[in-house]
Chains A and B, each alone.
Chain A
Amino acid sequence: MYSKEELFLAISNVIDPEVGFNLVEMGLIYDASCDDEGNVHVTMTLSTKACPMHQLIQQWVKEAVQKMANIKEVEIELVWEPEWNVTMADEHVKKALSR
């Protein structure tokens, strides 16, 4: 129903308030897929296991996807492998963080 790019675009509205970048440009969203019935599966990680906002961030991702038309269910899979590091972020994020 929706492509990975369309789902990523929706999720890019979710911003990490600590660093000020969205989750997609941070490289925290590993994969996203949507079947014909509108069931979405998002595979994502966080910059640290100890992130105090982990539940909230997953909730925001869910809400961002649910705003798309005809979405039935959103399942978030939080994974720690591969472990996130800054090389997974977009170039402009890396540049901004290293300033």
Chain B
Amino acid sequence: MAAIIYLFFFSAENISLLDTKVLSLTHLFLLGFVMMTIFGAMAQLVPVVLEVGHFGVELFYAIWPLLSIGTILMVLGFLNYPQLLPYGGTVVLISMMIFVMEIFLTIKKVEKLNLVITSILISNIFLFFGIIFGLVMALTYAGIIETDIYALLRSHVFLVIGGYITITLMGLSVVLLPMFGLSHGFSKKPLEIAMAMMSVAVLIVVSSSFIELKILNYIGYILSILSLIVYFYMVQTIYKTRARKEIDIYVKSLLFSYFSMIAALFLAAAYLIFDFEPLLLSSAWLIFFGFFGFAITGHVYKIIPFLVWFERFSPLVGKEKVPMLTDMLPKKSSSAQFVFSAIGVLVIAIAILLQDDALIKAGASFLLMGALALVRSVFFMINYK
């Protein structure tokens, strides 16, 4: 919500890769919404996927306040107070280190690694290095040390976005999509290929931060685009083999999420050809707010009803009539959230390409309506009695 309100203060002149408002908004959305949701989901999903208990699930209670404080300090730091960046960066680093170490120690309890566990392991290794690069950048912004911030930015972005968020989503997709769609009989081979390609792409881009060879960068970028295409192929096979054909708010959200991903890949490919920065920014926008954003909100409509049902209604099973999970979905507000947010994401993607102030405000208005509907939906599900 805060990230969306923030969009109203953007103008065309802010549409640049290293603009402090862009960096501030990106960190607010990715740390405050995407990472926070992924960490919360991991607290719930890791024991299910790994089939072992957490090493220390209590540690998650320390992660979210630290991540919240760190995020706020970083957002303010990018905006107007660069001296706050090292503090914000350090607090974020501490919270993420706790998360990464907890995950590593939980994985240590697993006897046999499977594909999904491997994806969690790889993505957390990338996160570990991604946040170290991030802290070095924060220290550079604050003027404490001197480094080549452009070179570090590429590594930081690829380690966190490609290495952590994308590989985590890839690994979780192979568990969650078939579980909710009742899909069976699809091959997991494309996931192996996609993960390997993305991992190599991240390593190549990180290497290019230290070796002055432009071709390396391009190989890394192209490999990451190809990795997402292979991943999309696997998602499509899961979708085709699903037994549940209903197009509910979950499926709609995922369809828009993957549509955004494909549109973003086209824009990224166009950027590599035309070297026009708004193409890259529009692609990043679609990846963050379209692909990540809708993949998360779609799952919110599955996970919150489940958690509430588990807590409130599962003890009553067999004793009295209990609701089905689908009864706990707010039909109108979830539809409103989907429609307003989807229009908002598309309008802003176009606004970035055209560098149009009025369109940014228009898109932000749609997104604000969508965010309000999401908040309403979340309250409906949490308070369902």
Contacts and interface: CB of A to CB of B under 8 A. Distances in A.
Contacts of A67: 318
B178 A48 contact: yes
B385 interface: no
Interface stretch (A1-9, A30-38, A49-57, A68-76): A49-57
B184 A83 contact: yes
A50 B325 contact: no
A53 B326 CA distance: 16
Given A52-B48, A85-B184, A17 B309 contact: yes
A91 interface: no
B243 A94 contact: yes
Contact of B243 (A13, A17, A97): A97
A48 to B, nearest CB: 4
Q: How large, as a class, is the contact surface on chain A?
A: 20 to 34
Given A53-B310, A86-B182, A17 B318 contact: no
B188 interface: no
A56 B48 CA distance: 13
Interface in A76-99: 83-86, 89, 94, 97-99
B179 interface: yes
A15 to B, nearest CB: 8
B171 to A, nearest CB: 12
A63 B317 CA distance: 10
Interface string B257-273: 00000000000000000
Contacts of A84: 184
B317 A60 contact: yes
Contact of A19 (B244, B313, B318): B244
Interface of A: 13-15, 17-20, 47-48, 50-53, 56, 60, 63-64, 67, 83-86, 89, 94, 97-99
**Cβ-closest 9 pairs across A and B:** A86-B243, A85-B184, A48-B179, A20-B324, A50-B175, A98-B245, A97-B244, A97-B243, A52-B48
